[in-house]
Amino acid sequence: MRFDVVVIGGGLAGMVCAIGLAEQGKRCAVVSSGQSALYFSSGSLDLLAQLPDGTPVDAPLAALPELVRQAPRHPYSLIGAERVAPLSDQAAQLLQRCGLNLQGSNERNHLRITPLGTRRATWLSPQAIGELPWESVAVIGIEGFLDFQPQLAADSLMQALGVRTEVNWLHLPALDRLRNNPSEFRAVNIARVLDLPENRMPMADELRRLAGDAEAIFLPACLGLEEDAPLLALQAAVGKPVRLLPTLPPSVLGMRLHQALRRRLQQLGGVFMPGDSVLRADIDAGRVTGLYTRNHGDIPLQAQQVVLASGSFFSNGLAADFDGVREPVFGLDVDSQADRADWSRSDLFAPQPYLQFGVRTDGRLRALRHGEALTNLYAIGAVTGGYDPLRQGCGAGVSLIGALHVAQQIAAEEERP
């Protein structure tokens, strides 16, 4: 099977790279073994929230020169600080073309509310999340749903922001059947019920009653599996602003991102191969010449260019054993620490060194193997090293900006005679 480009990994980085290429007429396939980090994410996309020395960042673009100084191996430094602004603009436009209505600016972070009621700086958020311009809110949980604790969120909102909060529980008979099976009573299944138009008015009536005179309502993100429409319709029916707070995984807001990316890729003629894994590759004279997957056995996938977007340890893009950290498909060079004792810190809240481990690349994001760049293999997103997505609040930004940086280079490369 021949493609212009094969992308390994269907997370944020891989999907956006494939969409960027497909929009330029490339025939792309995405092979993806399992669920990506999006299924576990808040649904907000971070660009840069903190410098490596711990300084908080309000204005991500303005902070880039200092980031480059402090972290020369950070993907933004490798790509070039001056490229981050245009690439982040293009990423936001691409997400819009996928039908995603995200809000925020790369000039200035906004603060999203976390499930614990605290605030975290981020770049782009779904309309449903938003900031907190109200003095009183009703935080309403769903009876029997354990992946969101309204009391916890309300207490933090009250203590940290001085917002008057009221806590209540929504009981809807439409959810009774699901509730009887606690292992099924999860955000995604609840959203499938609450998104049904026939449940909107009973829910709106109940929310209006529970919210009393609060100015706005906060609900766990169990609504709008495919789009914002159910939330907007509910809001209109209640007559008050309704906002969603992320829940424990699986994340409805993250899944919605994935579905939108997948739809766009397939509309553009891209091939998505879920549930398949790239196991090994043929490499000849510094080029990847074939990829072997679990489902295709001995028949190799062939492509002029290959993009590795297989994620970090969480997604098995990196593997750790007693001898060290390795990249399992190509055996690429990985930045890590030789002594296992240096991989992590016992203080859970300290920066964890292993989060910065990842595949080494050159400035074009071509992956290095035995110190040399493979000429047609790029590495993007969480599989690459040199940054801490949690601490620095830059996970999605690194994925999106790397994805488009690579897509543009591949397109330019092929235009050259």
Residue with tokens 């929504």: 170
Smallest distance, Å, CB 63 to ligand FAD? 16
- In the three-class reduction of DSSP (H, G, I as helix; E, B as strand; rest coil), residue 170 is classed as strand
Q: According to the binding rule CB under 6 A, does residue 389 interact with ligand FAD?
A: yes
Is 309 one of the binding residues for ligand FAD (CB under 6 A)?
A: yes
- In the list 13, 91, 252, 406, the residue contacting ligand FAD (rule: CB under 6 A) is 13
- In the complex, the smallest distance separating the C-beta of residue 304 from ligand FAD, rounded to whole angstroms, is 19
CB within 8 A of 223, min separation 6: which ones?
128, 191, 194, 195, 230, 231, 234, 244, 252
Residues 178 and 194: beta-carbon distance below 8 Å: no
Regarding 392 and contact with ligand FAD (CB under 6 A), the answer is: no
Report, in Å, the least distance between residue 22 CB and ligand FAD: 16
Question: Does position 382 bind ligand FAD by CB under 6 A?
Answer: yes
Give CA separation, 66 vs 51, 53, 69, 105, 242, in Å.
Answer: 8, 10, 5, 20, 39
Residue with Cβ nearer ligand FAD (218 or 330): 330
Residue 403: CB atoms within 10 Å: 31
Buried b (16+ CB within 10 A) or exposed e, 260-275: bbbebbeebebbbbee
| CA atoms of 283 and 294, how far apart (whole Å) | 18
Q: Which residue from 65, 192, 295, 314 is in contact with ligand FAD, where contact means CB under 6 A?
A: 314
Residues 265-294 interacting with ligand FAD (rule: CB under 6 A): 277-278
Query: For 187-239, where are the E strands, in sequence order?
Result: 216-220
Asked if 381 interacts with ligand FAD (CB under 6 A), we say yes
Q: How far is the CB of 113 from ligand FAD (least distance, A)?
A: 13
Per-residue binding string, ligand FAD, 18-57, x by CB under 6 A, is: -------------xxxx-xxx-xxx-xxx-----------
Angle at 181 between CA 178 and CA 184, to 5 degrees: 70
Spatial contact of 134 and 262, defined as CB atoms under 8 Å apart: no
Work out the angle at residue 74's Cα, subtended by the Cα atoms of residues 361 and 254, and round it to the nearest 5 degrees: 95
60 binds ligand FAD (CB under 6 A): no
Q: How many residues does the chain have?
A: 417
Tell me the window of 50-58, 90-98, 227-235, 389-397 that interacts with ligand FAD (CB under 6 A).
389-397
Given 3-state DSSP classes, what are the helix, strand and coil percentages for the chain, each rounded to the nearest 5? Answer: 35, 25, 40
In this complex, which beta carbon is closest to ligand FAD, that of residue 75 or of residue 230? 75
Minimum gap (Å) between residue 30 Cβ and ligand FAD: 9
Please, what is the minimum distance in Å from the beta carbon of residue 40 to ligand FAD?
4
Residue 124 binding ligand FAD, by CB under 6 A: no
Give the per-residue contact string, 315-334, with ligand FAD (x = CB under 6 A; - = no).
Answer: xxx-----------x-----
Residue 355 in the binding site for ligand FAD (CB under 6 A): no
Q: What does the alpha-carbon distance between residue 154 and residue 297 come to, in Å, rounded to a whole number?
A: 53
Q: Is 250 in the site for ligand FAD (CB under 6 A)?
A: no
| 182 cis-preceded (ω within 30 degrees of 0) | no
The stretch among 60-68, 175-183, 226-234, 393-401 that binds ligand FAD (CB under 6 A) is 393-401
Task: Establish if 104 lies at the interface with ligand FAD (CB under 6 A).
Answer: no
399 binds ligand FAD (CB under 6 A): yes
Give the shortest CB-262-to-ligand FAD separation in angstroms: 11
Quick one: tokens of 402? 């790397």
C-alpha distances in angstroms, 122 versus 253, 272, 278, 388, 395?
A: 15, 29, 33, 15, 10
Q: In 3D, which of 159, 172, 150, 118 has the Cα closest to residue 221?
A: 150
Answer yes or no whether residue 311 interacts with ligand FAD by CB under 6 A.
yes
Say how many residues touch ligand FAD, by CB under 6 A: 36
- Interaction between residue 156 and ligand FAD (CB under 6 A): no
The secondary structure of residue 56, as a DSSP letter, is: B
Q: How far is the CB of 244 from ligand FAD (least distance, A)?
A: 14
By CB under 6 A, name the binding residues for ligand FAD: 8-14, 31-34, 36-38, 40-42, 44-46, 277-278, 309-311, 314-317, 329, 381-382, 389, 395-396, 399
